[in-house]
Structure 1
Amino acid sequence: MHISVHKKIKVGFFIAFTIIVGASVLSYLIGKNLMHNANRLNHTVEVSKRLERVTKQLKDAEAAIRGYNLTKQDAFLHPSMEERSIRIEQEYRNLRRIMDDPGQQKNLDTLKQLLDVKYKQLTAGEQKDFSKGSRISVGEGEVSMDLIDRKVNEMTQIEEAQLYEKSRLFEFFSNLWIPVVFIISLFAILIGVYSYVILSKEFRLQLHIEARMKLYQRELQDNITLLNKSNQELEQFAYVASHDLQEPLRKISTFSDRLQTKYGRELPPDAAELINRMVAAVSRMRVLINDLLTFSRAGRMMPETMLPVDLNALLQDVTGDLEVALLEKNGTILMDQLPEVEGNDTALHQLFQNLLSNSIKFAHPGRPLEIRIKRELLTGREIGLVKEDKWDETFCRITIKDNGIGFDPVYADRIFLIFQRLHGVSEYKGTGIGLAICKKIVDAHNGYISAFGHPDEGAEFVIILPLKQSRED
């Protein structure tokens, strides 16, 4: 299956766009995880540092109390235990603020309790009156400090474990980030190169097509000019030929009339019969010439001649012209209300006159003639014959059906060809041009005509005409 270049480009850009969007989303997620793990790394490091500060300040405070107990020097009590306690409390609050792990928060609560116990011991050791037994117990201090160290070590180990996991994730996403960015960039470059190649090829092809189109347009214009010239010459030839043919026919007809008038009684019967046959032949020749002229002009419709035509009034004129012939066949015409269409009034008059004359000519001898004219308004979409660009236009389908002798359906297309007859001249008069003229008139109006029939049942002609003529046609 052949796929057009435009479709290939659309599919290629869609795939490229999808991959780039997917890769961009992946890159965004990687970057987001990278930033998150970087923040978590900083968070873990900060927690570990603050825990170390708490331990260091406690040990400094304990060392100061021991130094004071040994030397009795007040310098060891600066800063005081109250000031040291404020610093430790500040570190605890900072830890409470930044610590978001539920397990670590519980450990922090336990550490706070141990700090409170240790603070009381240190405060007691700061007293200067040792006679009252308020001196810090070395054993109790070591126990409480050991508990604090264990809890801090436990919390530090948890943070270090988290630090290791976050470091591993940070390293993973860091290593993944560069290949993803590289692949996206490489793919974008490849798409750009591919697009440039395809578009350049398409552009060159378009230039080639435009050059060929211009060449074809020039050739077409030349052919149209030649065709118009040929048509003009053909029209002039038809006019001259018809004029030159009519003149000898008139002379033959005149001389025949004179012979019959002057020597009619003296002519032998066989001579009179020959003259009568000659006059009949001249008459048929005259009709044939007129039909040929009509046929040659039927397909030429100038846009300015396409005017609104009331088909009801037009058919009234046609039936008036055919009134005598219709009475001879004891015929009736039943007609729907017809719409107004744009067209050439003279040509449409010729169209319906030929079709109705055809029904009258081929009336069934065993029954009264009945002609039924129906109409139906349809859109181009509802008509299978209409091109897609005219699907929204409105058309009128006119059906002319009679109960005449009909015809074999195998000849449905043949009857619209010039000089094609289904019956001999001796049976039915005519030149075999009438329906061909109808076909040319309908074609000139951008319409369609078809015929259906069955022997001894009648014939049906279907005409499809647009209500409005397209001016570009």
Structure 2
Amino acid sequence: MAPESSLFFDRNMHNPVQRKIRLGFFIAFSVIIAASFFSYLVTKNLLDNATRLNHTIEVSKRLETIIKQLKDAEAAIRGFNLTKDSAFLHPDMGERSNRIANEYAALRHITTDSQRQQRHLDTLKTLLDIKYKQLKLGAHSDTPNGEKRSVTEGEKVMDRIEQKVDDMMHIEDTQLHEKAELFRFFSVLWVPVIFISSLVAILIGIYSYVTLTKEFKLQLHIESKLKSYQRDLQQNIMLLNKSNQELEQFAYVASHDLQEPLRKISTFSDRLQIKYRDQLPPDASQLLDRMVLAVSRMRVLINDLLMFSRAGRIAPESITEVDMSALLQNVLSDLEVALQEKNAVVHAAQLPVIEGNITNFQQLFQNLLTNAIKFAHTGRQLEINISYQILNGKDITVVKENRWDEQFCRICIEDNGIGFDQAYAERIFLIFQRLHGISEYSGTGIGLAICKKIVDSHQGFIQAYGYPNKGATFVIILPLKQKK
């Protein structure tokens, strides 16, 4: 398996594992949330039950105190009536009544949330008032019949008071029982829920640990492979750079060395033409002319090849801020004669300042404008329009995401020449590729290849749009600042 496909396979395996881990943690989190919520319900019921129990105890204690105070008062009056000893009336009925009133007020306060208990307390208050009046009469009763009647009536009222107290205690006991049943229900569920949730959390924890361990090992394996691929890539880059340097040196040396034989051929052919032209038959003179033409074309081809081998070489120290408008005017000045021959009109906008190599930029514009002049339409005046736009990287489709924060200059060079078929838009930038025969248009097919090499070396883009018999547009996209 190739390194790239192996790495792709590892990454594809990596994604499902991440999804499983996320799902596991989501389930564990959900289980913990559910267990926490259920624990909250159990705790809340436990606290409510404890509060209700304390409330019942408090109500029971107050009611028992009231009953005890009443019975003590009743016993004291009976003792006084039997012995006529005033010691039985200490404390007196007023103080005993105040104690009962305090207990009643406390009961009224702690049962404010229960309408039923408040109604019972209203009835109890009426009975206590009746009982208090009976006790006061009993303390002043002098006849046996009066005493007997007082005891009988007091027992009836006391029975009614005790019945009312029993009713109130029954309400409290019922509410306490309901709370206890609800707590018992949650308690029965609480133990298995906590056990199951804990078991699920433990299993998920074990699974996550095992999965994370595998993931960590896989990550180490991927990092190891990436480092290995990076080393191989660096070696390949070094070999490629060395190969490119050797090719450039070969092209330069070959082009330079080929110049000498060409000069000799040219010199000998010139001498042959001057000295023996009149003595040569017509067909020999024709062959000699064709040889001279071939030598001339060979010289142009070698020079262009030499220029292509040198194009795009940018040293960091050669990068400067280039006034593209001034540079364009210099190029137009150099092409003035050719433009006049075609009766061409050039409309150029005021171009911005761009960082780059001034020599390369000059060669770029010269090749593109020469191309427009060469392929001018014979049936109309040549017009060349040069415009530009400043755009952000994210607004240009050919710019990758890592360069979206850069600013680019989009320069358009548009002409109304013969144009070309858009199917050949990529082919025209390849070296030695021609869309027309040499007999129709001169050239070696290297000019646009040089343009692409220059734009690529400046971290830019070049595109061509052709419209047969209407013209062509070349779009150059260059960053305003070169990355060091």
Fold match, TM over 0.5?
A: yes
RMSD: 2.6
Unaligned runs of 5+ in 2: 1-11
Q: Does residue 54 of structure 2 align to residue 42 of structure 1?
A: yes
**Greater shift in the superposed pair: 184-193 or 165-174:** 184-193
Q: How does 1:64-463 map to 2 (within 5 A)?
A: 64-73=76-85, 76-77=88-89, 79-100=91-112, 101-127=114-140, 129-130=142-143, 137-463=150-476
Alignment-mate amino acid for residue 104 of structure 1 = Q
Q: 1:19 deviation in Å?
A: 4.6
Q: 1:332 deviation in Å?
A: 1.8
Contact kept, 8 Å, 1:38 with 1:170, in 2: the verdict is no
Q: 1:104 deviation in Å?
A: 0.6
Normalised to the residue count of structure 1, the TM-score between the two structures is 0.91
Q: Aligned residue pairs: how many?
A: 471
Alignment-mate amino acid for residue 275 of structure 2 = K
Q: Percent sequence identity over matched residues?
A: 67
Q: 1:325 deviation in Å?
A: 1.4
For 1:350 and 1:8, locate their aligned partners in 2 and report how far apart those are by CA, in whole Å: 58
For the structure 1 residues 302 and 183, does the alpha-carbon distance in structure 2 shift closer, same or farther, using more than 3 Å as the test? farther
Aligned to 2:36: 24
Q: Give secondary structure in 1 for the equivalent of 2:386.
A: strand
Q: 1:80 deviation in Å?
A: 4.4
Contact kept, 8 Å, 2:48 with 2:179, in 1: the verdict is no
Q: 1:216 deviation in Å?
A: 0.7
Alignment-mate amino acid for residue 55 of structure 2 = H
Q: 1:133 deviation in Å?
A: 5.5
Q: 1:183 deviation in Å?
A: 4.4
Deviations 1:191-212 (CA, angstroms, capped at 9, x unpaired): 4334323332222121111111
Q: 1:357 deviation in Å?
A: 0.9
For the structure 1 residues 261 and 310, does the alpha-carbon distance in structure 2 shift closer, same or farther, using more than 3 Å as the test? same
Alignment-mate amino acid for residue 90 of structure 1 = N
Alignment-mate amino acid for residue 146 of structure 1 = D
Q: 1:118 deviation in Å?
A: 0.9
Q: 1:129 deviation in Å?
A: 4.8
For the structure 1 residues 11 and 312, does the alpha-carbon distance in structure 2 shift closer, same or farther, using more than 3 Å as the test? farther
Contact kept, 8 Å, 2:49 with 2:176, in 1: the verdict is no
Deviations 1:246-289 (CA, angstroms, capped at 9, x unpaired): 11111111222222333344444333332222222111111111
**Greater shift in the superposed pair: 446-455 or 350-359:** 446-455
Alignment-mate amino acid for residue 159 of structure 1 = E
For the structure 1 residues 393 and 266, does the alpha-carbon distance in structure 2 shift closer, same or farther, using more than 3 Å as the test? same
For 1:53 and 1:431, locate their aligned partners in 2 and report how far apart those are by CA, in whole Å: 122
For 2:16 and 2:371, locate their aligned partners in 1 and report how far apart those are by CA, in whole Å: 51
Unaligned runs of 5+ in 1: none
For 2:95 and 2:425, locate their aligned partners in 1 and report how far apart those are by CA, in whole Å: 118
Alignment-mate amino acid for residue 396 of structure 2 = I
Aligned to 1:464: 477
For the structure 1 residues 423 and 203, does the alpha-carbon distance in structure 2 shift closer, same or farther, using more than 3 Å as the test? same
Q: 1:68 deviation in Å?
A: 3.8
Alignment-mate amino acid for residue 140 of structure 1 = E
Contact kept, 8 Å, 1:81 with 1:123, in 2: the verdict is yes
